[in-house]
Amino acid sequence: MAETFQNLLLGFSVALQPSILVYAFVGCLIGTLVGMMPGLGPLAGISLLLPATFGLNPIIAIVLLAGVYYGAMYGGSTTSILLRIPGEAASVMTCVDGYAMTQRGRAGPALAIAAIGSFVAGTLGVIGLMLLAPTLAEFALRFGPPEYTALLLMGLFILAYMSGGSMLKTLAMAALGLMLGMIGIDVMSGYTRFSLGIVELGDGVGIVPVAVGLFGVSEILLAAGATAALPVQRPKLRELIPSREEFRLSAGPIARGSLLGFMIGIIPGSAHIISSFVSYGIERRLSKHPERFGQGAIEGVAGPESANNAAATGAFVPMMALGIPTSPVTAVMIAAIMVHGILPGPMLIQQQPELFWGFVASMYVGNVVLLILNLPMVGLFVNLLRIPYAYLYPCILCFCILGTYSVSNSLVDVWILLVMGGLGYVLRKLGYDLAPVALGLVLAPMLELSLRQSLAMSAGDYGIFLDRPIATTMLALGVVLFLFALKPLVFKGKDWRDQVGLEKQ
């Protein structure tokens, strides 16, 4: 514990440097704005900002991008509460009771509880990250190729189990992402695969055009035709203070949402989205008056908002400790660190303590910055929502093209962006979750390399995964969850989503 505090002090000595503070503030500010804008979620925001971080030092780059990520989690709640428009997917549940509170003239307390819940969850999440990541990284030093293969497969099975939609569709999308990851030069044999004769594809398909296309462009295509600007409430500072009763009702949901969100955040998938849905379901189930939910229950704002912020922090645990992204956002962030020649993984915390602990400390600072930004200045931010969507979406599209082109000055990337935008639009219309595509794309090279190395180690014997206890445990867990997920398909019955009350959303 003493060592942890010493390391944290080292982190604060880095995070409190004026340049880092400025970038943490800028990241939080951009994140808040990005989170508020429909069609520009944290992933698109981070992807678009990625080229701008190439010239920065790695600590500043990751502090800036992390600020955008959790800033977007905060910002997304504002549009949900005031306009019933989720700025990003994780805020969908906040719309239900947040907007109902706005209609009853309680927008201020809803915004305040969302911000306070996010602050508490973010801070608890950072403590969890601080305590868990180094331990996990130490444990992961025992991992060889079979363990990594098992870990990645387990991640994909958990992703399927936790997905909000059809398990089959989630697995199909993960396979599609993994197949996209096969494009380019095979590092073990030197063969260029599926490049269609396009030289640029030799390096593979980048995460940025795929992520921005699937999440940014497709969102704009789906919303094509929506032009009217909505009337916006601007709550004053004194109207933000919740009543004693509202504080009392929110305390439990904030605590439960923080814990639940952090735990869900560690596992793969769209954790921040799932966590907010699960938290809402649990709060409704635990409530003595579940009929209040949907009518403006403050617990329906406090729980999901805390959960999605804690999940955003939890997602950094496997990213930092294992070098494995559990969400498209952390995948882009890994790409941002790798540009600087740093490989996230078990050795990162030992070899780059300033980066890891500086990052942790900057998150404490970022949470305070966000609380300041999101409470007194909320009236200022909502002005952004007055911009008619007809003016907003062309600019966002231009940003998407600009951001994608800037990553490697390649028009091929922009073509990929447009293809992914069109594909994402069709897939979303057909009810497919797109996060597994982005995740599969990033995991593909790791999975292929570790699988082929494992088979080479065992002279082609798949039994190697059963001979090694860690790999066996992870595979068994993955298979059990996979079978659990299959159960509702084979036998008619309720699955966990119904159990937590999501079926009516």
Residue 287 neighbours by CB distance under 10 Å: 17
Based on the shown chain and the rule CB under 8 A, indicate whether residue 421 belongs to the binding site for another protein.
yes
Which stretch, 11-19, 24-32, 352-360, 421-429, contacts another protein (CB under 8 A)? 421-429
Based on the shown chain and the rule CB under 8 A, indicate whether residue 483 belongs to the binding site for another protein.
no
For 185, the enclosing helix (H) or strand (E) is strand 184-185
Structure token digits, residue 12: 């604060």
Based on the shown chain and the rule CB under 8 A, indicate whether residue 409 belongs to the binding site for another protein.
yes
**Closer CB to another protein, residue 50 or residue 259?**
50
Phi, psi of 405 (to 5 degrees): -65, -40
Based on the shown chain and the rule CB under 8 A, indicate whether residue 484 belongs to the binding site for another protein.
no
192: β partners: 185
Residue selected from 263, 455, 466, 476 as contacting another protein according to rule CB under 8 A? 455
**Closer CB to another protein, residue 249 or residue 417?**
417
Q: Which residues contact 282 (CB under 8 A, 6 or more apart)?
A: 256, 260, 303, 500
Structure token digits, residue 158: 């958990």
Which stretch, 146-154, 338-346, 389-397, 469-477, contacts another protein (CB under 8 A)? 389-397
Based on the shown chain and the rule CB under 8 A, indicate whether residue 422 belongs to the binding site for another protein.
yes
**Closer CB to another protein, residue 223 or residue 476?**
223
The rounded distance, in Å, linking the Cα atoms of 409 and 197 is 19
Judged by phi (left if over 0) then psi (alpha if -120 to 50, else beta), residue 417 lies in alpha
**Closer CB to another protein, residue 55 or residue 469?**
55
209, 296, 433, 483, 499 from 490: Cα distances, Å? 37, 38, 22, 10, 18
Which stretch, 90-98, 302-310, 446-454, 471-479, contacts another protein (CB under 8 A)? 446-454
Instruction: Please say whether the beta carbons of 279 and 315 come within 8 A.
Output: no
Q: Are strands 192-193 and 184-185 parallel, antiparallel or unpaired?
A: antiparallel
Query: Cβ of residue 140: shortest distance to another protein, in angstroms?
Result: 23
Whose structure tokens read 């595979």?
A: 475
Q: Which residues contact 461 (CB under 8 A, 6 or more apart)?
A: 455
The rounded distance, in Å, linking the Cα atoms of 82 and 303 is 18
- Counting beta carbons within 10 angstroms of the beta carbon of residue 228, is it exposed (0 to 12), middle (13 to 18) or buried (19 or more)? exposed
Query: Cβ of residue 486: shortest distance to another protein, in angstroms?
Result: 10
Residue selected from 223, 263, 372, 500 as contacting another protein according to rule CB under 8 A? 223
Residue type, 199: V
Based on the shown chain and the rule CB under 8 A, indicate whether residue 451 belongs to the binding site for another protein.
yes
Query: Cβ of residue 51: shortest distance to another protein, in angstroms?
Result: 5
> Could you tell me the sign of the dihedral formed by the alpha carbons of 142, 143, 147, 153, in that order?
positive
Based on the shown chain and the rule CB under 8 A, indicate whether residue 338 belongs to the binding site for another protein.
no
**Closer CB to another protein, residue 295 or residue 406?**
406
Residue selected from 341, 460, 463, 493 as contacting another protein according to rule CB under 8 A? 460
Based on the shown chain and the rule CB under 8 A, indicate whether residue 295 belongs to the binding site for another protein.
no
Q: Which of residues 182-211 bind another protein (CB under 8 A)?
A: 182, 186, 188-189, 191, 193-194
**Closer CB to another protein, residue 186 or residue 203?**
186
Query: Cβ of residue 174: shortest distance to another protein, in angstroms?
Result: 9
Structure token digits, residue 403: 């951001």
Sequence length of the chain is 505
Interface with another protein (CB under 8 A), residue total 62
Instruction: Please say whether the beta carbons of 310 and 261 come within 8 A.
Output: yes
Q: In 239-352, which residue ranges form alpha helices assigned H by DSSP?
A: 244-266, 271-286, 299-314, 316-322, 328-338, 348-351
Based on the shown chain and the rule CB under 8 A, indicate whether residue 456 belongs to the binding site for another protein.
yes
Based on the shown chain and the rule CB under 8 A, indicate whether residue 247 belongs to the binding site for another protein.
no
Residue selected from 21, 172, 255, 339 as contacting another protein according to rule CB under 8 A? 172
**Closer CB to another protein, residue 376 or residue 394?**
394
Query: Cβ of residue 428: shortest distance to another protein, in angstroms?
Result: 11
Q: Which of residues 39-58 bind another protein (CB under 8 A)?
A: 51-52, 55
**Closer CB to another protein, residue 139 or residue 391?**
391
Q: Which residues contact 16 (CB under 8 A, 6 or more apart)?
A: 361, 365
Q: Which residues contact 443 (CB under 8 A, 6 or more apart)?
A: 152, 155, 156, 177, 178, 181, 324, 325
Based on the shown chain and the rule CB under 8 A, indicate whether residue 401 belongs to the binding site for another protein.
yes
Based on the shown chain and the rule CB under 8 A, indicate whether residue 229 belongs to the binding site for another protein.
no
Query: Cβ of residue 380: shortest distance to another protein, in angstroms?
Result: 20
Q: DSSP for 107-118? A: HHHHHHHHHHHH
Residue selected from 37, 62, 221, 322 as contacting another protein according to rule CB under 8 A? 221
**Closer CB to another protein, residue 242 or residue 403?**
403
Based on the shown chain and the rule CB under 8 A, indicate whether residue 154 belongs to the binding site for another protein.
no
Q: Which of residues 61-90 bind another protein (CB under 8 A)?
A: none
Q: Which residues contact 74 (CB under 8 A, 6 or more apart)?
A: 28, 31, 32, 35, 114, 115, 118, 309, 370, 373, 374
Based on the shown chain and the rule CB under 8 A, indicate whether residue 22 belongs to the binding site for another protein.
no
Based on the shown chain and the rule CB under 8 A, indicate whether residue 96 belongs to the binding site for another protein.
no
Residues near another protein (CB under 8 A): 51-52, 55, 166, 168-169, 171-172, 175-176, 178-179, 182, 186, 188-189, 191, 193-194, 217, 220-225, 227, 390-391, 393-395, 397-399, 401-402, 405-406, 409, 411, 414-415, 418, 421-422, 425, 427, 429-432, 447-448, 451-452, 455-456, 459-461, 489
